Amino acid sequence: MKDTSGDDLETELVSENDPKIVVNSLWKVFGQNNPHQALDEQYRNKTRDEIQQELGLIVALRNVSFNVYSGETFVVMGLSGSGKSTLVRCLIKLIEATSGEVLVDGEDVTNFNADELLQFRRSKMAMVFQNFGLLPHKNVLDNVAYGLEIKGINRERRHKEALEMLERVGLTGWGEARPRELSGGMKQRVGLARALAVEPSILLMDEPFSGLDPLIRRQMRLELVELQKGVHKTIVFITHDLDEAVTVGDRIAIMRDGEIIQMGTPQDIVMRPADDFVREFTLGVQKTKVLHAGSVASKPDVIVKDSDTIETLRSLVHGSDSAYAICVEDQGAFKGLIRRETVDGIKLSEKKPLRDYFDESVEVIPSDTILEDLLPTLIDSDHPVPVIDKRNRCIGVATRRDVLRVIASESDD
């Protein structure tokens, strides 16, 4: 499996957290015969189909390993039958893994006894299903409060908390309604509110929006992203739609035939697909919605430090074709931009410090700005736009040409 994560700064920041979920060499083999046979050395190089033919066993998960960090939305993506649901069910031990570990906050879920498992499912992990899973005879409020009812929380308190959750998902005033009176999107908001009500630290979402109309589906994705900014849950989100994956995911794992074949940020996956299979997936994705300014930024021709002399500035600018120089502090923090005309106009007799010449008012763009949001700034600007990272260091400049290249490559696809 190709792990392309860690290539950019955002991944670096995510991985500074402790992993919330650690999955180590997880296998799930279905079938009547001894499932452990499929793990034997002699089958390691055989395909899933070959193993099925020879042993009558289905290898649903094959040596799967990954970490999910606290507060991260981790997307598992793959075609039908690739093992996504099996994986998410193993995380909560709805299915017993054949081999491997699932550590949540350092504890191995695969070893939990019935009591521990019950406790774990009631408090730490909540699941949102594709078919909503609402109780038809209960009203919306009681559906949302259901997890709290099971925990033995009294009626008054659970209703109060359920009302807050309904407000969170935009369903204020719907508490008395029955599930059948709601649209699909509203039902799924109830499903989400019910999962959030038990205050789990982890949300497992198995194709939660797949049953919805495309328009509602897109809206729900954006709502989830907004909601997550407020709740900071650790989310494992299953989908077979890359557009959805890149909208909601901080990182994406792509599965095929029970294996993870690539794992990385949406930018990694779109810019550096591990193989033709992944590339196929990425073709339909609008790159200007996925790629960040940081991924197209290029090194400016001329960089000067604010402690440099005017002579240094002049010789660097005149020794290049560049129409501007970028000025940074010693630690790399962006200070300003100096246009070539300004440099040309500096008289030799002037003895002012460099910082008196650079334009500190130029707009800078954070490196995680998507290209679509960068375009208006670029169009209004008569110079390349400095791109800064989370520590205010200038990592490069974005030019109209850089963005046009991405748009042009999209129309080639």
Report the candidate in 225, 178, 229, 181 with the shortest Cα–Cα distance to residue 205.
225
Is-contact 301 37, C-beta < 8 A? no
CA geometry: angle at 283 spanning 373 and 390, to 5°? 35
> What is the H or E stretch that residue 139 is in?
none
240 binds, options Mg ion, ligand ATP, none, Cβ within 5 to 8 A by partner type: ligand ATP
Residue with tokens 């390349």: 384
DSSP letters for 203-233: EEEESTTTTS-HHHHHHHHHHHHHHHHHH--
Give the shortest CB-58-to-ligand ATP separation in angstroms. 5
Q: Which of 57, 60, 162, 203 binds ligand ATP (CB under 6 A)?
A: 60
Binders in 24-53 for ligand ATP, by CB under 6 A: 30
Give the shortest CB-202-to-ligand ATP separation in angstroms. 19
311, two tokens:
């002579």
Binders in 213-272 for ligand ATP, by CB under 6 A: 240
Give the shortest CB-141-to-ligand ATP separation in angstroms. 31
Q: Which of 20, 84, 194, 292 binds ligand ATP (CB under 6 A)?
A: 84
Rounded to an integer, what distance in angstroms lies between the CA atom of residue 14 and that of residue 302?
A: 32
Residue 211 in contact with ligand ATP, rule: CB under 6 A: no
Binding site for Mg ion (CB under 5 A): 85
Give the range of 80-88, 132-140, 225-233, 266-274 binding ligand ATP by CB under 6 A.
80-88
Strand locations in 31-139 (E): 58-69, 73-78, 99-104, 107-108, 125-128
Give the range of 75-83, 107-115, 181-189, 288-296 binding ligand ATP by CB under 6 A.
75-83
86 binds, options ligand ATP, Mg ion, none, Cβ within 5 to 8 A by partner type: ligand ATP
Residue 85 in contact with ligand ATP, rule: CB under 6 A: yes
> What is the H or E stretch that residue 171 is in?
none
93 binds, options ligand ATP, Mg ion, none, Cβ within 5 to 8 A by partner type: none
SS3 349: coil
The smaller minimum CB distance to Mg ion, of residues 73 and 85, is found at 85
* Stretch 172-201: interaction string toward ligand ATP, x if CB under 6 A: ------------------------------
The smaller minimum CB distance to ligand ATP, of residues 4 and 82, is found at 82
Give the range of 79-87, 173-181, 268-276, 405-413 binding ligand ATP by CB under 6 A.
79-87
Residue 83 in contact with ligand ATP, rule: CB under 6 A: yes
DSSP letters for 361-385: TS--EETT-BHHHHHHHHHH-SSPE
Give the shortest CB-182-to-Mg ion separation in angstroms. 24
Longest dimension (CA), the chain: 90
The smaller minimum CB distance to ligand ATP, of residues 60 and 197, is found at 60
Give the shortest CB-4-to-ligand ATP separation in angstroms. 22
Rounded to an integer, what distance in angstroms lies between the CA atom of residue 8 and that of residue 15?
A: 11
Strand locations in 240-307 (E): 251-256, 259-264, 303-305
Q: Which residues bind ligand ATP (CB under 6 A)?
A: 30, 58, 60, 78, 80-86, 240
